[in-house]
Amino acid sequence: MTSPSRKAIVPTESLWMSWLARVQGAAIGVAITATAPLALAQPAPPPVTVATPLSRPVTEWQEHMARVEPSARVDIRARVSGQVDQVHFTDGAIVRAGDPLFTLDQRPFRIALDTAQAEVARTEARLLLAEQQVARYEPLAASRIAPQAEIDSRRAALREAQAGLAAARAAERQAALDLEFTEIRAPRPGRVSDRRVDAGNLVQQGQTVLTTLLALDPVYVSFDPSEAEYLRQARSARAGLRGASLPVQLRLLDEAEFSREGRVDFVDSAFDARSGTIRVRAVVPNPDLFLTPGSFARIRLSTGEEPSLLVPDASVMADQTGRMVLTVAADGTVTPRQVRLGPLSDGLRVVRSGLAPEDRVIIGGLHRARPGMRVTAEQGRIGPSPLAAAD
């Protein structure tokens, strides 16, 4: 039999559980009602700055690695054999044309010159005697006092004396020239290398190299374009690469600007069969003698002006397929465009293909844009500097 107290507890628990269920249901309903607007609200598209590509004519350049060479290289050799008596220059010095470099011992050559001069005097005396004898015998032969054979013999002796005098004078000039050759002078202005022989050494005529002279103003700059580069350059030049005397610009490896100018003066006659390149040479003034033979430099040639599209270099992206830029369509969708790039011009990158003049390129906020997503496009502009400023 159930007690009365137990019967009273059961209705009380039922009422408590019913009330708790209604409170929890109401709380859940309130929470769902409160979070429903948050779940339905969509995030705003991220803002990016867009601009159409800058369109203007751009001077196209071809750049090559080049090597500086002297415009002339002279191996200084003795033109007569002898002993070096003096050295007149400092190793590595700048010399002018005609400056003395070496002097050989002149004493043997002075003796040879004196001998040649004495021989000239002797042949002159012989000639004088022959002339006197001809003058003496001519009237005798005319009056038939002296035989004709005698006058013919005297005249032959006169011609022999004249020839002997000419030979003696030639030997005198040769001796004087040999004496002059003992003073070895710079044939042209430039910079000399170190001396290869010191005073006291014997040198052989035409064999011993005494030093080397390099002409440094102007200098030659040689480079080797490929066949494709040569054809492009030759077609763009009005008179062709050979006859156009094309201007070139030069910079050294530690320089940022192409501050030196010159002109093409030589193109080789054939391509190298092994490398497929052709040798081209330019002449570059070097008044400060700073360009040193053997050093490397960057050289560029103009291929003319062409209308081009330019975008900031920072707006160009790269993936596994190549280079691309992000554009924004009319509905705000980000669309990638594969592009083929050219050189930099005033901080802007030339786009050769893949982009239209009316395309809106993302130039700001690239980190917030992804292909296929929607963005809010804010109009900007691309100026002549690499930075794009928003309007």
Please write the tens of the pLDDT for every residue from 368-387: 888 888 888 888 888 765 44
Of 306, 339, 356, at which residue does a domain stop?
306
Residue 386 lies in a domain: no
Residue 384 lies in a domain: no
Residues 58, 350: contact at Cβ < 8 Å?
Answer: yes
Based on the fold, state whether residues 199 and 106 are members of the same structural domain.
Answer: yes
**What pLDDT score does 369 carry?**
86
Tell how strand 202-203 and strand 82-87 pair up. antiparallel
- Parts of the chain with a pLDDT under 50: 1-10, 16, 20, 27, 29-40, 386-391
Residue 105 lies in a domain: yes
Residue 296 lies in a domain: yes
CATH assignment of the domain containing 174 = 2.40.50.100
**What pLDDT score does 204 carry?**
93
User: What is the identity of the amino acid at 12?
Assistant: T
**What pLDDT score does 199 carry?**
92
**What pLDDT score does 104 carry?**
95
CATH assignment of the domain containing 354 = 2.40.420.20
What order do you get walking across the sheet with 202-203 strand by strand?
Answer: 183-185, 100-104, 82-87, 202-203
Based on the fold, state whether residues 291 and 311 are members of the same structural domain.
Answer: no
Based on the fold, state whether residues 52 and 107 are members of the same structural domain.
Answer: no
Of 306, 339, 370, at which residue does a domain stop?
306
- For 348, which DSSP code? E
Residue 325 lies in a domain: yes
Domain count, the chain: 4
Residues 232, 62: contact at Cβ < 8 Å?
Answer: yes
Based on the fold, state whether residues 333 and 299 are members of the same structural domain.
Answer: no
Based on the fold, state whether residues 253 and 205 are members of the same structural domain.
Answer: no
Give the number of C-alpha atoms closer than 13 A to the C-alpha of residue 199, restricted to the C-beta side: 9
pTM of the predicted model over 0.85: no
**What pLDDT score does 239 carry?**
54
**What pLDDT score does 282 carry?**
92
Give the number of C-alpha atoms closer than 13 A to the C-alpha of residue 136, restricted to the C-beta side: 10
Residue 391 lies in a domain: no
CATH assignment of the domain containing 231 = 2.40.30.170
> What distance in Å separates the CA atoms of residue 334 and residue 3, rounded to the nearest whole number?
79
Based on the fold, state whether residues 255 and 314 are members of the same structural domain.
Answer: no
Structural domain span for residue 109: 79-212
Based on the fold, state whether residues 228 and 302 are members of the same structural domain.
Answer: yes
Based on the fold, state whether residues 207 and 116 are members of the same structural domain.
Answer: yes
Based on the fold, state whether residues 98 and 130 are members of the same structural domain.
Answer: yes
Backbone angles phi, psi at 366, to 5 degrees: -60, -30
> What distance in Å separates the CA atoms of residue 228 and residue 246, rounded to the nearest whole number?
18
Backbone angles phi, psi at 163, to 5 degrees: -65, -40
Residue 109 lies in a domain: yes
Of 247, 276, 306, at which residue does a domain stop?
306
Based on the fold, state whether residues 92 and 176 are members of the same structural domain.
Answer: yes
Based on the fold, state whether residues 144 and 88 are members of the same structural domain.
Answer: yes
**What pLDDT score does 9 carry?**
43
User: What is the identity of the amino acid at 43?
Assistant: P
- For 374, which DSSP code? B
Residue 21 lies in a domain: yes
Based on the fold, state whether residues 12 and 111 are members of the same structural domain.
Answer: no
**What pLDDT score does 77 carry?**
94
The token pair that represents 154 in the structure block: 């005297």
Q: Which helix (H) or strand (E) holds 266?
A: strand 260-267
Tell how strand 190-192 and strand 94-95 pair up. antiparallel
